[in-house]
Chains A and B, each alone.
Chain A
Amino acid sequence: MEQLTDFQVIEDIRRGDGRRYALLVDRYKDRGLALAMRIVGGKEESEELLQDAFLRAFQALGDFRGDAKFGTWFYRILYNLCMTRVTRRRGRRELHDHFSDVDTESAAEDETPDALEIVEDLQLTELLAVEVERLPEQFRIPLTLFYIQELRYEEISELMGLPLGTVKTHLFRARAILRKRVLTVLGKEVDVL
């Protein structure tokens, strides 16, 4: 059976078939949870925020005009909810502060030039999953929006309210930091072996 598009599902909901919303929830809940967890941390709290985001999106479906994809629109609602939560939790601390000069061009690669070439795909993925969580927030969030939500630079820029160039810089910096950390960790493992 041909899968309904998001827009078709939304049309059905507008015609009164609210149960169709479960289709959209199932489509976006796991990626949404990944985003919420990368912003607020705990799974339980993230699920609670995700529920709230879905509820708000449902109530606001009348305002959704279809200019953007439903996913992009929904992720914006979720992102705003999560950022409000973390901002309340820690007070208004500036995001873009002391991590702007992170050194990414380290000597690590010269010490272990082949570490990233010999590591297995699975091991690298597991290592990156850990290292992403340790990234500073201003790099972790755009990276998540790019890889998990699969948003384009422009969409991330609009969603986060950052200039396009800043989004690119943060994404590049994030990957560069990950590269450096992976090389460092793998380098240590190679030394042990």
Chain B
Amino acid sequence: MNANGHHYSLDELNALVDTKQEAEVTVRTDAHLAVCDRCRRRYVQLFRIDRSLRAIPLPETGREFTQTLMIRLSRGARTPLAFRLLEHGASFLGTLVIMSVLASAYLLLGSPAETGRDSAPFGIIARGWSTVSGGVSLAVQWMTEHLTALDGLGSYGVWAFGIGAVLALVVADRLLTRWFLQKVR
């Protein structure tokens, strides 16, 4: 009988099945279970269910599971040179294509000031290009005024373009390589 002097609830009996009780509680519960058919029957039922749940067989993975996994792991740790060349080559080509399209658009369409064409879609591309080149010009101007230590290193515009191009290539390479790997693996 529980502390309230009633039959045990299923939750209380469940707790008895799961946990080792203190000696005093065990004596009390055993005494009740010895004389109460209802609680004893429920307790035995839950105990059997508990034991049977532990005996449910586990599913088995496929025979090749571990081997496949280890191959995947070794590929990740030691990517073959050919594969690395392929993935970086693909992303490099992708970057070149994107840059070529942008350069072609600029060369074909010119800037809005030069062509007077500012209607969509050509105008949008030309204006976007103009904005970017304007930003670069501003950055170069700022560098010319403030970074006097760079005097004598050549045209700031060339340096800025070079650094920007390398950064763009690195970022594009990472993004495209990730995309490529997701597609391949």
Contacts of B52 in A (CB 8 A): 121, 124-125, 128
Residues of B at the A interface (CB closer than 8 Å) are: 10-11, 14-15, 17-18, 41-42, 44-46, 48-62, 65-66, 68-70, 72-74, 76-77
Report the bound CA distance from A182 to B6 in whole Å.
26
Report the bound CA distance from A109 to B46 in whole Å.
12
Any B CB within 8 A of the CB of A73: no
Any B CB within 8 A of the CB of A143: yes
Report the bound CA distance from A37 to B72 in whole Å.
22
Contact yes or no, A29 B76, CB < 8 A: no
Any B CB within 8 A of the CB of A189: no
List the one stretch of A4-12, A80-88, A171-179 in contact with chain B.
A171-179
Contact yes or no, A55 B60, CB < 8 A: no
Nearest residue (CB) in B for A23 is B66
Contact of A179 among B49, B56, B57, B58 (CB under 8 A): B49
Number of interface residues of A (CB under 8 A): 45
Contact yes or no, A30 B58, CB < 8 A: yes
Question: Given contacts A22-B70, A55-B69, A55-B76, is CB(A178)–CB(B56) below 8 Å?
Answer: no
Contacts of A58 in B (CB 8 A): 73
| Nearest-Cβ distance from residue A169 to partner chain B, whole angstroms | 7
Contact yes or no, B56 A129, CB < 8 A: yes
Chain A 4-29, CB-CB to B under 8 Å as 1, else 0, gives 00000000000000110110011001
Report the bound CA distance from A73 to B70 in whole Å.
20
Contact of B61 among A29, A125, A128, A176 (CB under 8 A): A29
Question: Given contacts A125-B52, A178-B49, is CB(A55)–CB(B58) below 8 Å?
Answer: no
Contact of A47 among B17, B49, B65, B73 (CB under 8 A): B65
Any B CB within 8 A of the CB of A39: no
Any B CB within 8 A of the CB of A148: yes
Contact yes or no, B66 A29, CB < 8 A: yes
Contacts of B53 in A (CB 8 A): 128, 132, 143, 147, 175, 178
Query: A residues 93-129 with Cβ under 8 Å of B?
Result: 104-105, 109, 113, 116-117, 121, 124-125, 128-129
